[in-house]
Amino acid sequence: MIVAGDQQLLKQINRMALVRQLCSEPGLSRAALAETVGLTKSTVSLLVRELMDEGWLTETELRATGALGRRATPLQLDGSRLALLGADLGIDTARIVATNLLGEVLEERVLPYQDGADATACIAAVGEVLVELSRAGGALAGRTMLGAGIGLHGVVDDATGVLHYAPHLGWRNVDVGSQLRAQFDGTPLAGLPLFIQNEANVAALAELEFAGQSGADPLIYLSIGYGVGAGIIVNGRLMTGQFGFAGEVGHTILQQGGPPCSCGRRGCADALIGLQALVDEVYGKAGVSPAQADRLFEQSAAGEATAARAVEAAGRNLGVLLNNLWVAFDPMCIVLGGAALRLGGRLIEPARRVLDDYASATLLPAPAIRTPHFGLNAIAIGGCAIVRHYLMRPFVAQETARRSPAKSSALAAELATSSWAWS
């Protein structure tokens, strides 16, 4: 749906076009910006002045060009006056960070849950820390908050802020957005943008917005935790699908007639690669827990035979999934993230070998495979990244907001009551 006649939206699109251009090419002058984005020099000068006053942009030292006349003044993003907030509502612990516009971490908190099954209490605890950071001094003193982004380990309707199902937490149909907005009333966060999204999606946006790499689009962030999910970036945009549920690759079939999956089918990626499946295979179906996962990591590192065989097999199946993602999306880069990365090369190297075998057969170079730039904070920093991403793309943000809540909620309700276990 195209909205015509909204002059404020048009102005904001033009403003953010300048900011995005300086993200990819810091140091451009006003004249160079005008030429690059196709706006008049007077319009660019006016918009740049506004963006500098608001803390988005700053000038650097004058640059000699050798040409006659006034020297060009380079512009770049200002990392000193604005702040973004992000949170990762993990399985047993939440991680909350504040970054500047460049993704540099200014403050971080780690918050163990008192009771991970109590969704309301966990969300409230995270909200308290977000409010605390919005009022903090130190590195955040004097900064203007732009908004907050939340990464959730489950099926998220990004248009409504509802978490429909988080299988490893047992949360169903939790309105995370409404709960946090109510908690933000009367605080510096009241009325600011709040974005709720699946954890793999926000982690993918962290790589897009803050990793500083060019030539990595399309990009896929493959999250391997208790289950498997993916965040997919195409043409600088997050691919969320019609209802916001794209990227749930944990239920693509890798092995016909393979081990049963919690979704009711057999041979899914979740049942062959996820930590839940690995722990079940090595220790029996006693249910995965942080302690059981730690035990698997330790025994695999020590070369214990059963654990080593299970991880090797999971790695080979991961290679099949990587090949399928390569064929489907032709990405420049696939980033492997999630808790399973603690298995290190014991998981990743078998996957690389399988992918390289497929690549050799096609005589085509496989996409680059790497780990996240942001370690344990990948999802929390992704929460900050989603704020910057949508603020710099105001029309895309409006498209998301206009997605039909009725259709989205109806489909999500059907999914949440099925046996499908999402990552």
Residue 170: which pLDDT band, with cuts at 50, 70 and 90?
A: confident
- Comparing 67 with 35, the larger pLDDT belongs to 35
β-pair type (194-198, 144-152): parallel
Residue 64: which pLDDT band, with cuts at 50, 70 and 90?
A: low
256 residue type, one letter = Q
Mean pLDDT on 294-318: 94
Task: Using DSSP, state whether 368 is helix, strand or coil.
Answer: strand
pLDDT of residue 411: 47
Task: Using DSSP, state whether 346 is helix, strand or coil.
Answer: helix
Q: Phi/psi of residue 291, each to 5°?
A: -65, -40
pLDDT digit string, tens, across residues 113-156: 999 899 999 999 999 999 999 998 888 999 999 999 999 998 88
| Long-range contacts, stretch 130-133, CB < 8 angstroms, 24+ apart | 130/85, 130/87, 130/96, 130/180, 130/184, 130/189, 131/183, 131/184, 131/187, 131/188, 131/189, 133/85, 133/96, 133/98, 133/107, 133/109
The verdict on pTM exceeding 0.85 is: yes
Task: List C-alpha distances in Å: 230 to 174, 217, 247, 285, 380.
Answer: 22, 15, 5, 25, 16
pLDDT digit string, tens, across residues 271-305: 999 998 999 889 887 667 778 889 999 999 999 99
pLDDT digit string, tens, across residues 232-257: 999 888 988 877 678 889 989 999 99
- List domains and CATH numbers for the chain: 7-77 (1.10.10.10), 83-203+378-416 (3.30.420.40), 215-372 (3.30.420.40)
Half-sphere exposure of 91 (CA within 13 A, CB side): 15
pLDDT digit string, tens, across residues 185-215: 999 999 999 999 999 999 999 999 998 765 5
- Can you point out the beta strands (E) in 185-328? 194-198, 219-224, 228-234, 237-238
Return the minimum-mean-pLDDT range out of 48-57, 62-71, 161-170, 317-326: 62-71
Yes or no: say if 172 and 416 are a contact pair by the CB < 8 Å rule. yes
- Residue partners of 304: CB distance under 8 A and separation at least 6: none
- Residue 401: enclosing H or E segment and its boundaries? helix 394-402
108 residue type, one letter = E
